Amino acid sequence: MTANDFFQIGLYLVVLLALVKPVGRYMALVFADEPNRVTRFGAGAERLLYRLSGIRADEDMGWKRYALAMLVFNVAGVAAVYLLQRTQQWLPLNPQHFGAVTPDSAMNTAVSFATNTNWQGYGGESTMSYLTQALGLAVQNFLSAATGIAVLIAVVRGFARRGVNALGNFWVDVTRTTLYILLPFSLLIALLLVSQGVVQNLSAYVDATTLQHGTQTLPMGPAASQTAIKMLGTNGGGFFNANSSHPFENPTPLSNFIEMLSIFLIPGALCYTFGSMVGDRRQGWAILATMLLIFVPLTIGVVAAEQAGNPALHGLHIDAQASAMQSGGNMEGKETRFGIASSGLFAAITTAASCGAVNAMHDSLTPLGGLVPMWLMQLGEVVFGGVGSGLYGMLAFAVVAVFIAGLMVGRTPEYLGKKIEAHEMKMASLAVLIPCALVVVCTAIAVMVPAGVAGIANPGAHGFSEILYAVSSASNNNGSAFGGLSANTPFWNVLLAICMFFARFPLAIAMLAMAGSLAAKRHVPPSTGTLPTHTPLFVALLACIVIVVGALTFLPALALGPIVEHLTSLTGH
């Protein structure tokens, strides 16, 4: 790795950590039970929205009602986005006269955006009208992100509250998330992106004459507004098919830095919010430290692998050394305006955070470089993860960690003053195991069915990686694509839609069930046998649990894909 690589990674982490506390404190005020200067500012707008929607804002919901409201709200979102795609040929704001999206692709896309996955089997600029992009996909970008944060806040209330049966009001949590967090931050980020050259208009596509005197059609559209929320909400769906490698969606190194920062901003700050809401900020810092303990080495790993170049080309005497004129390393599939460090860092961030946006072709990463983003997803998207969903996934691992520690010393495990018993362990185990089971089972189905292997572009180990990556991305609600796999077929649209749906909602319901049980429990004062959960020892234990679960589950599959491909490339093949 070069000094530039370390500088870019270090600068990113410094700026991110500097923003964690102010943004986290702000979000804690947004979700506070008592009125404060933040919620009083928008109280009028809130009351108007509740009155128009017929919502009783003072109603405190139990976990079942909270889960039912969440499920109904998102199923309605799936239906709305599906209908919009199927009827876009008759609707306005369609200057390119795009026809109706096919039923299986429309279903896949509707589930994808409602589950905060944003997996795309289609080309945005060649399939979706402006109305579908803005009213369907961009709106779902807000609502699916708000749903994830709302579920997290309910789970945190489960740890914070004592002797009650209520977790808050889903409709209020979604409204406040959208009104106070997602809308203002998205507006700011969109303006920053426009200042860098990201397009924002409703114009028809433009024909331009190239230097070779040919004609090139340049896509237009409201890209900046959708790009802002796709990053901030860890959605990831690109306005254009090339996603964040497209010059109209991510034109400069500064816009690239803003987009990367937007991805981790809320997941990182929510750790501080969690600590504030449970009354012990050290707990939030410990969770954040665990995420960084896993993320930083893996990021260095993917950048180092790309900077080292493709081992299969080492014998060809190609100049792959970094210099003032080139990034060196493996530049296949990468934009020259970003280079190795920004491309590798982006790949690690987007797969750690369940975002799914890409600024380089992951299919062209070196075998070991491609292994890292794949494994980051397979860890359960808890290393930062999606907004809200990443942190409540990590809290499930924390419950498992204190349970294992309790077994070691023969005591009933406790976490944040609540005894962890059989019901909590069952729900936490479901949350941990559901994504793992989906990846393993659905990958096996895909490689055994002719319709599954028909879409791969490369035979052998790399083709297996293409399938494994796609299923891992959908089953962990990430949405990034490895590339090389032709996934816009009925088989893949149905299979991946099933993965996305069951990776999102059963897991969220399990966490709400656990939170409902915890909220009803009394606080247990710490004793000499209580495991402190804010210490470096617990951080190391929690990180080990996350890594061991991921390693034990996926090492055989990784051995069949990127590992065997790396060993083969060492022989020059």
C-alpha to C-alpha distance for 142 and 159, rounded to whole angstroms: 26
Count CA atoms within 13 Å of residue 33 on its CB side.
13
Instruction: Tell me whether residue 233 is in a domain.
Output: no
Structural domain includes residue 341: no
| Structural domain includes residue 501 | yes
Query: Looking at the domain assignment, is residue 19 inside a domain?
Result: no
Name the helix (H) or strand (E) containing 120: none
pLDDT digits over 173-221, tens only? 999 999 999 999 999 999 999 999 999 988 888 899 998 888 898 988 8
**Rounded distance between C-alpha atoms, residue 223 and residue 412, angstroms:** 52
Please compute Rg for the chain using Cα positions. 23
Contacts 24+ apart (CB under 8 A), 557-560: 557/439, 557/440, 557/443, 557/468, 558/371, 558/374, 558/375, 558/468, 560/461, 560/464
User: Looking at the 3D structure of the chain, how many domains does it have?
Assistant: 1
The answer to whether residue 465 sits within a structural domain is yes
| Cα–Cα dist 381/47, whole Å | 35
C-alpha to C-alpha distance for 294 and 90, rounded to whole angstroms: 49
For tokens 């404060």, the residue is 36
Residue 489 lies in a domain: yes
Alpha-carbon distance of 13 to 297, in angstroms, equals 13
Q: Helix 223-232 and helix 139-160: axis angle, to 10°? A: 20
- As a whole number of angstroms, the distance between CA 475 and CA 440 comes to 10
pLDDT at 573: 64
316 in Cβ contact with 214 (< 8 Å): no
Instruction: Quickly list DSSP for 145-166.
Output: HHHHHHHHHHHHHHHH--S-S-
Q: What is the pLDDT of residue 536?
A: 94
414: part of which helix (H) or strand (E)? strand 414-415
pLDDT attached to residue 321: 81
The secondary structure of 203-271 as a DSSP string is PPPEEEE-TTS-EEEEP-SBHHHHHHHHHHTT----SSTTGGGSTTTS-SHHHHHHHHHHHHHHHHHHH
Q: Is the Cα dihedral 50, 55, 60, 61 positive or negative?
A: negative
The label of the residue with tokens 């920004």 reads 342
DSSP letter string, 496-537 = HHHHHHHHHHHHHHHHHHHHHHHHTSPP----TTPPPSSSHH
- From 491, 485, 456, select the one nearest 473 (Cα to Cα): 485
**Surface-to-core class of residue 512, CB atoms within 10 Å of its CB (0-12 exposed, 13-18 middle, 19+ buried):** buried
Residue 119: name the closest of 471, 370, 437 by CA. Answer: 471
The per-residue b/e assignment along 425-444, b for 16 or more CB within 10 angstroms, e otherwise, is bebbebbbbbbbebbbebbe
Per-residue pLDDT, 563 = 92
How many angstroms separate the first and last alpha carbons of the chain? 24
Residue identified by tokens 């961030």 is 349
546 closest CA partner among 438, 393, 317: 393
Residue 479, domain extent: 387-571
Q: Tell me the torsion sign for CA atoms 486, 487, 489, 492.
A: positive
Position 427 in a domain:
yes
The pTM score is: 0.93
For residue 109, what pLDDT is reported?
94
Residue 326, number of CB atoms within 10 A of its CB: 14
How far, in Å, CA of 250 to CA of 536, rounded? 38
Q: Which amino acid is at 143?
A: L
Q: Within a domain: residue 400? A: yes
* CB-CB neighbours of 417 under 10 Å: 19
- Ranges of the chain with pLDDT below 70: 572-573
